[in-house]
Amino acid sequence: MGSTLAKIVETEAEMTQTQKNKATAHHLGLLKARLAKLRRELITPKGAGGGGPGEGFDPGRSRLH
């Protein structure tokens, strides 16, 4: 988790050092997207998510027949 925090700090520092004008707008947008992704990783780690065992949806088996 420390690695993600370090990346967030680096990205924020780069954003503050980058001038805001038409030529750098795309770069700042990419930095904002990277920052959002890193913050999302802090909230929900990569290991979390669905796809595990349990009841799921099986379109081949319906109870209507």
Compute the mean pLDDT over every residue in the chain, rounded to the nearest whole number.
Answer: 83
pLDDT digits (tens, 9 = 90+) for 42-61: 888 666 555 556 666 666 76
Residue 55 lies in a domain: no
10 assigned to some structural domain? yes
Residue 62 within a domain: no
According to the model, what pLDDT value does residue 13 have? 96
CA 43 to chain centroid: 9
Overall number of domains in the chain: 1
Domain extent for 29: 2-42
Asked, for residue 47, whether it belongs to a domain, the answer is no
> 9 lies in a domain?
yes
Report the largest interatomic distance among the alpha carbons of the chain, rounded to a whole angstrom.
64
Residue 63 in any domain: the answer is no
**Domain annotation covers residue 27:** yes
Q: Whole-angstrom Cα distance, residue 14 to residue 16? A: 5
* Confidence at 12, pLDDT banded by 50, 70, 90: very high
Instruction: Compute CA 50 distance to the chain's CA centroid, rounded to the nearest angstrom.
Output: 16
